[in-house]
Structure 1
Amino acid sequence: MPSFMKLIVAVILTVGIGSLGGIFTATEVGTWYAGLQKPSFNPPSWLFAPVWTLLYLLMGISVYLVWKQPPSPARRMATGVFIVQFVFNFLWSFIFFKLHLIGWALAEIIVMWVLILITIVLFARLSRTAAWLLVPYLAWVSFATVLTAAIYKLNT
C-alpha cells in the first residue's frame, strides 16, 4: 500500500473509531452526566469533541509513522500495544457514560494511561516524531484521570 494511503487509512480509522465512542454515549452527556456533581476544573462539555478530534488526528498520524517503518518485531509490538490502548480508550466511554460505573472507569483509565505511556516508549524506538505526537494524548488522559477521580469522589 502506498505511504499516502497508509496515512489516510490510519487517520480515518483513529478519528472514525474514536468518534464512535462519543457518538454512542452523546445522550448520556446531556442527561446522566449533567446531573453529576463535578469539580470546579471540569471543562465545558463543548470542549471535549474538538479536543478528542485533534487527539485522534494526532494518534492517526503517529500510528502511520510507525506503520510505514519496515516490518519488524518492534513495529508489530508497538502497533499491538497501540491497538490495545485504543480499545481501552474506546471502552472507557461505555464504562463511564453508558454503564455509569465511575469507579471502574477510573480503574480502566489508569490502565489506559499506562498503556499509552508504553506505546510512547515503543513508538520512540521506531519514530521519535510518532512518540511526541502522542504526548498531548497522554497529557489529556492524565487530566481525564484526575477529573474521573474527582467525579468519583464527589458522587460516591
Structure 2
Amino acid sequence: MTTFIPSLTLPAAVFANPAASILLPIGLGTAVGFSVRPTQSQKTYMALKQPPYRPPPQVFGPTWTVLYGLMGYSAYRAYSTGMSPLASTEKHLWTKHGATLYTIQLGLNLLWMPLFFVAKRPVEATIDIVALTGVTGYLTYLWGKVDPIAGWALAPYLGWLGFATYLSAGVGYLNDWDTKGKEIDHPPSSKLEETKFVDEE
C-alpha cells in the first residue's frame, strides 16, 4: 500500500528541521528560475498566444515563493507529526511514503521551467505538470491523514498547479505545440507593454 524509496527521498534531517524544510524548495525554485534567465523566459511568455485568465509574468515569482514556503512547512509539519514516537505505525508508513512522493513532486516541479522555456518542449512540459499535479494530489491526501494542517498547507499549491496545468496545456494547444523561435524581439519600453501579450497587440 505504501512505498518508501530512500534513494528517491530527501534526507530525514531536511524534513525534521523547519528552516531547512521551508528554505530548500524556495532556494531550489529560485535557483532554477534564475538559471532559466527571467528576462528570456518573460520574452518567450509574452510572445506566445495565451488562454484566457493568464496572469502577467510578474505574478509568478511572488506566488511561487509563497507556495514553496507552504510546501516546505507542510513537509516539516507532516514529518514531525507522523514520525513522532506517539504516532501510530500506520502514520509512520504514510509519512515515509509521503516523503518519497514529496521528493518526486519537487523534482517534477523544478523540471517544468527548463522543459518549457529552455528545451521549448510544451508537450513534455505539460505531461510533466499533469504528473506533478497527480502526485501532489495524492501527497495532499496522504499527509492530510497524518496531520490536517499539513494537508491544508498543500491545498493552495495543489490549486495553483491545477491552474498552471490549464495554462501549460492552453499555451501548447494555441501555439500548435511548438514554441521554438517564439520570442518578442525587443525589450518592453513601458509598464503597459510589459503586460501586453502578443495576441493583444
Decide: shared fold, TM above 0.5. Answer: yes
Percentage of matched positions with identical amino acids: 29
Could you tell me which runs of 5 or more consecutive residues in structure 1 were left unpaired when the two chains were aligned.
none
Work out the number of aligned pairs and report it. Answer: 154
**2:19 aligns to what SS in structure 1?**
helix
Question: Which range moves more in the overlay, 135-144 or 34-43?
Answer: 34-43
* 1:28 CA drift (Å): 2.8
Does the aligned pair in 1 maintain the 2:42–2:57 contact within 8 Å?
no
> Hey, what does 1:97 align to over in structure 2?
117
Amino acid in the other structure paired with 2:34: I
Q: CA deviation at 1:124?
A: 1.2
Q: Deviations over 1:66-125 (max 9, x none)?
A: 121326222211111011011000001111111111111111111110000011011012
Amino acid at match of 2:18: L
Map 1:2-151 → 2, pairs under 5 A: 6-25=17-36, 26-69=38-81, 70=83, 72-151=92-171
Aligned partners of 2:41 and 2:155: how far apart in 1? 26
Rounded to whole Å, the distance in 2 between the matches of 1:85 and 1:18 is 13
Under a length normalisation based on structure 2, what TM-score does the superposition of the two structures give? 0.72
Contact 1:66 1:75 in 2 (8 A): yes
Give the conservation status (yes or no) of the 8 Å contact 1:28–1:98.
no
Equivalent position SS for 1:125: helix
Partners of 1:102 and 1:28 in 2: CA distance: 16
- Supply the distance in 2 between the matched residues of 1:102 and 1:27 (Cα, whole angstroms): 19
Structure 2: gaps (5+ residues): 1-11, 85-91, 177-201
Cα distance per residue 1:5-42 (max 9 Å; x no partner): 71111011121112222112224323322221112311
Normalized per residue, which structure has more helix? 1
Greater Cα radius of gyration, structure 1 or 2: 2
Moved over 6 A (4+): none
Aligned residue for 2:17, secondary structure, equals: helix
SS at match of 1:122: helix
Query: Is this contact kept in 1: 2:45–2:57, CA < 8 A?
Result: no
Q: Which amino acid letter does the alignment assign opposite residue 60 of structure 1?
A: G
